[in-house]
C-alpha cells in the first residue's frame, strides 16, 4: 500500500471514529416532519440540545410545545437508573427495549443495552395513553436510526 493510500485509509478511519464519538445528530436523524407526523401537530423549528460531557444528544421540536427526544450513549443504562430513582412512581412499559418506564412529567425513557432514548410530549389535552403511544413511537423512530 502506497503512502498516499495509507494516509487516506488512516484519515477515513479517524473521521469515522470522530463521527461515532460525537454521537448522533437527533435533529437530523428524526426530522421535524417525522415528529409532526407522529404527534399529529404542526410544530415549527428545531434546536439541538447536546452535552458531549454527559454523552447526551437531543433535539427540541417546536417553539411553544417543546417536544423533545434525546439519546444518551454510552452510559444510558446508568443515566436511566438515576432518573428512575428520582421518579419512584414511574410505571414500567412492557415490550420496549431492555426496560422502559413512563411518568407524565418526564415522558418515556427506554434502555437498549447501554443506550437510553427518552421522548417527551407536553400533555396538553391528551390522555396519558395517547401521550405514551406518541412517546413510544418517537423512541422507536429514533432507535431505528441508531
pLDDT tens digits along 31-87: 999 999 999 999 999 999 999 989 999 999 998 768 999 999 999 999 999 999 999
- The answer to whether position 45 is within a domain reads yes
DSSP code, position 63: S
- The answer to whether position 136 is within a domain reads yes
In which domain, by residue range, is 110 found? 24-143
Write down the pTM of the prediction.
Answer: 0.84
Share the mean pLDDT of the chain.
86
- The answer to whether position 8 is within a domain reads no
- The answer to whether position 5 is within a domain reads no
Query: Cell 444528544 belongs to which residue?
Result: 57
Cβ neighbours of residue 102 closer than 8 Å, sequence gap 6 or more: 90, 91, 93, 108, 109, 132, 135
Segment 110-123, tens digit of pLDDT: 999 999 999 999 98
Contact 135, 119 (CB under 8 A): yes
- The answer to whether position 80 is within a domain reads yes
Closest CA to 113 of 85, 79, 141: 79
Quote the number of domains for the chain: 1
C-alpha–C-alpha distance, residues 88 and 44, integer Å: 34
- The answer to whether position 9 is within a domain reads no
- The answer to whether position 79 is within a domain reads yes
- The answer to whether position 93 is within a domain reads yes
Amino acid at each position: 500500500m502506497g503512502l498516499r493510500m495509507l494516509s487516506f485509509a488512516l484519515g477515513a478511519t479517524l473521521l469515522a471514529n470522530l463521527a461515532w464519538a460525537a454521537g448522533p445528530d437527533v435533529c437530523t436523524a428524526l426530522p421535524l416532519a417525522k415528529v409532526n407526523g407522529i404527534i399529529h401537530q404542526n410544530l415549527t423549528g428545531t434546536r439541538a440540545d447536546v452535552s458531549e460531557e454527559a454523552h447526551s444528544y437531543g433535539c427540541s421540536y417546536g417553539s411553544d410545545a417543546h417536544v423533545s427526544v434525546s439519546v444518551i450513549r454510552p452510559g444510558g443504562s446508568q443515566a436511566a437508573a438515576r432518573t428512575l430513582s428520582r421518579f419512584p412512581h414511574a410505571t414500567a412499559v412492557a415490550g420496549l427495549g431492555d426496560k422502559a418506564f413512563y411518568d407524565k412529567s418526564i415522558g418515556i425513557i427506554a434502555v437498549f443495552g447501554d443506550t437510553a432514548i427518552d421522548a417527551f410530549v407536553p400533555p396538553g389535552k391528551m390522555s396519558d395513553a395517547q401521550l405514551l403511544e406518541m412517546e413510544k413511537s418517537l423512541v422507536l423512530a429514533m432507535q431505528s436510526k441508531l
